[in-house]
A and B are shown apart, each in its own frame.
Chain A
Amino acid sequence: MIPAIRIAGVTKRFRSLQALAGVDLEVAQGEFFGLLGPNGAGKTTLISSLAGLARPDSGTLEVMGHDVVKDYRAARLALGVVPQELVFDPFFSVREMLKIQSGYFGIRNNDDWIDEILHHLDLTGKAGANMRMLSGGMKRRALVAQALVHRPPVIVLDEPTAGVDVELRQGLWQFIRKLNQDGHTIVLTTHYLEEAETLCGRIAMLKAGRVVALDTTANLLQRFASHTLRVSLAEPITLAGPLAGKLLKTEGSTLEFGFDAFDEVADLLAGVRTCGGKVVDMVLGKPDMEQVFVGIMNQN
């Protein structure tokens, strides 16, 4: 099957900044794919290159098998992009804007689908409102609606939940999940790592324009994260022996250990007691994407 997205050897330089330094990536059809990385890692440049908003210096990008430069019409028809910035055209109402966007993609009489999108994004009541009159969260949802007017098989969401409240975020993810279940390929960039962990089946991490990790979410968690035991002690202690090797971080008299199996907890606590520590509080934590992210970024 043709991959939804194929990126090969893509480089892009903005003056002295190497935004993309040879990115290779494939996203299969139907995937919910996460693209993570710190600010300036090249995520938005990569998405812009895919969408034709930026032109790579070298390499090729394809959407559903269509080269984004040579066969840009087919590539853009197959792609829906929710931009990171909260942009809108102040001249038009939500419905006008969606009808215009449909027309840009060659679609006339798109009202039924527009109504459906508005319904799912809880914007039906605002269809006639000017874009300026919408709240930030509504504008964000309107942006999602705009990206969907032409029913693209591949949808890219560039930090879609930045600044969106929890309730709205959950509603948005419910809708995006449904789109994924209906067969749409979703590519998501976000700084909310727990979102990526929950939603994405596979994740790529970018740093300084390179892919530094690419695997399934489960594998990344297994390889780079562990359960944690966080113990607060009455007084700081000095660790010795194998216990020191398990220490992830120290904050004053609070120590955080990593472990893989729960029967290690008893050994860790015994070790702390042996070193003279008196435990006053204790919290167990699951492996999470934040550990993976921090671990990988520090490695590279």
Chain B
Amino acid sequence: MEGFKTLLYKECLRFWKVGFQTVLSPVLNAVLYLLIFGHVLEDHVQPYPGVNYTAFLVPGLVMMTVLQNAFANSSSSLIQSKITGNIVFVLLPPISYREFYAAYVLAAVLRATLCGIGVLLVSLPLTDLHFAAPGWIIAFTLMGGAFLASLGVIAGIWADKFDQLAAFQNFLIMPLTMLSGVFYSIHSLPAVWQGVSHFNPFFFMIDGFRYGFFGVSDVSPWASFGVVSVCFVVLAAITLQMLARGYKLRA
């Protein structure tokens, strides 16, 4: 247990030491999105009755920040350790693969939550936000963060170079996030694309998270949470299996 706690502490210390890059910078990015898109679309789009566009956008941006940073934390930490070779310091001690997984995922969720809180705090003075069901906000933050953190562990282990990791991030994570309803309600899409959106687990994360603010969503939050939970369990099982086999870590 001490090994797990230390690895978790080390992972948190690692991102905290470069907090400008890992926490403040994502918050600034999200706030820029909010200012620009909010300013341009505020008077043109009303996604839900009684909810203005800027207010609608904030939960989407918070969740996008959570998801992207959960992925970034575990994936970048692992690939850096692999490429520099210092991953041996984690592989030599008596740390089980489950502890390894839990530490990387929890640290990533923690950073993601910090970033999300940062975006939320900066957004609060800019719009009129409600917290209709805070329990869902917390639940989707943790589950969505854990899902992406697991995906980050897979990507970090699989990628042999930064280029491959960037491809994973730019060709998978970024499109799935952008097309998940961060900037729009899927009811504004044609029927075909609404159907396609239901194959994107990110959509359920953002939709369920948004329900926590407005009490309104495209899909029932229970259904969304079910989808996200099943996806997380499947991904966690795959990641644990990779770690148990020592895939690309133990020759």
Residues of A at under 8 Å CB distance from B? 14, 45, 48, 51-55, 72-74, 76-77, 79, 81, 83, 85, 87-92, 96, 100-108, 146, 150
Interface members, chain B 2-48 (any A CB < 8 Å): 2-3, 5-7, 9-10, 13-14, 17-18
Q: Report the bound CA distance from A87 to B10 in whole Å.
A: 17
A101→B94 contact, CB < 8 A: no
Q: Report the bound CA distance from A84 to B228 in whole Å.
A: 44
B250→A52 contact, CB < 8 A: yes
Identify the closest chain A residue to B89 (Cβ).
A101
Q: Report the bound CA distance from A91 to B9 in whole Å.
A: 13
Q: Report the bound CA distance from A83 to B85 in whole Å.
A: 10
Which 5 A-B residue pairings sit nearest by Cβ, starting from the closest? A103-B6, A104-B93, A87-B85, A73-B94, A54-B251
B251→A14 contact, CB < 8 A: yes
Q: How large is the interface on B (under 10, 10 to 19, 20 to 34, 35 or more residues)?
A: 20 to 34
Residues on A with beta carbons closer than 8 Å to the beta carbon of B9: 100, 103
Residues on B with beta carbons closer than 8 Å to the beta carbon of A92: 13
Q: A91-B14, A103-B6, A106-B2 are in contact. Are A53 and B94 (CB under 8 A)?
A: no
Identify the closest chain B residue to A89 (Cβ).
B86
Residues on B with beta carbons closer than 8 Å to the beta carbon of A87: 84-86, 88-89
A85→B94 contact, CB < 8 A: no
Q: A52-B250, A87-B84 are in contact. Are A108 and B2 (CB under 8 A)?
A: yes
A83→B10 contact, CB < 8 A: no
B86→A51 contact, CB < 8 A: no
A51→B251 contact, CB < 8 A: no
A76→B93 contact, CB < 8 A: yes
B122 located at the interface, meaning its Cβ lies under 8 Å from any Cβ of chain A in the complex? no
Residues on B with beta carbons closer than 8 Å to the beta carbon of A89: 81, 84, 86, 89
Q: Which of A72, A90, A103 sits near B3, CB closer than 8 Å?
A: A103
Identify the closest chain B residue to A87 (Cβ).
B85
A100→B6 contact, CB < 8 A: yes
